[in-house]
Amino acid sequence: MGEMMDLTYRYASAADVEPVRALVERAYRGPESAKGWASEAGLLTGPRTSDEEIAGLIAGLTSRFLLAERDGVLVGCVLIEQHGEDGYFGMFSIDPGLQAAGLGRALLSKAEEAARDLWDAQGMVAVVINLREELIAWYERRGYALTGRREPFPYDVHSGALRTDFDFVELRKRF
């Protein structure tokens, strides 16, 4: 766990748009992501997000990107948003070369803390593609439980779907 101690955290500013987008793309879609636990490369092609979307979320009143850096280099990021009495997290991205080092665990717990500090959140929610069983199990080990709520996947927005038999399931952790 010692190597995790040199992480620093901060909220993204407008200057971080490009590096954040690049990290999200690498974690979810890039060729290096294919072996990583966050990868959607087997399900979806095409961009995961855009500079415009990231810039809007950074500027938003009820959203923040929490960044994890090591020696000034961006190694992880997560979007947090206020959703009613809960915090919500998404675009949870760890540099594919650094996965399985405990970084995701550290960043998630920092995101939960941030949602409590910023919005007095009572819990934390996320939606995950239902086929991602290993990822769902990882969240369950961190205290998240399936709520039974499902959302359709927006195939019209993400035209790069390689299959169309999946949807989103919601997970929630109560604080």
Residues shown for the chain: 175
**What is the percent of the chain where pLDDT is above 90?**
62
Interhelix angle 17-28/51-59, rounded to 10 degrees, is: 120
Which residues have a Cβ under 8 Å from the Cβ of 15 and sit 6 or more positions away?
none
Q: Comparing 36 with 123, which gets the higher pLDDT?
A: 123
Q: Could you tell me how far CA 36 lies from the centroid of its own chain?
A: 14
Distance CA 93, CA 99 (A): 10
Beta strands in the chain (DSSP E): 7-11, 63-70, 73-83, 86-94, 123-129, 145-152, 167-174
Instruction: State the chain's mean pLDDT as an integer.
Output: 88
Distance CA 99, CA 25 (A): 15
129: left (phi over 0), alpha (psi -120 to 50) or beta: beta
pLDDT tens per residue, range 70-100: 999 999 999 999 999 999 999 999 988 887 6
Which residues have a Cβ under 8 Å from the Cβ of 13 and sit 6 or more positions away?
58
pLDDT at 67 over 90: yes
Q: Tell me what pLDDT residue 5 has.
A: 57
Count up the domains in the chain and report the number: 1
Q: Tell me what pLDDT residue 32 has.
A: 66
| Average pLDDT for 20-45 | 74
Q: Comparing 16 with 132, which gets the higher pLDDT?
A: 16
Q: What is the pTM of this model?
A: 0.88
CATH code (residue 25) = 3.40.630.30
User: Per-residue confidence at 1, pLDDT binned at 50, 70, 90?
Assistant: very low
DSSP SS3 for 17: helix
Q: Supply the range of the domain harboring residue 50.
A: 2-174
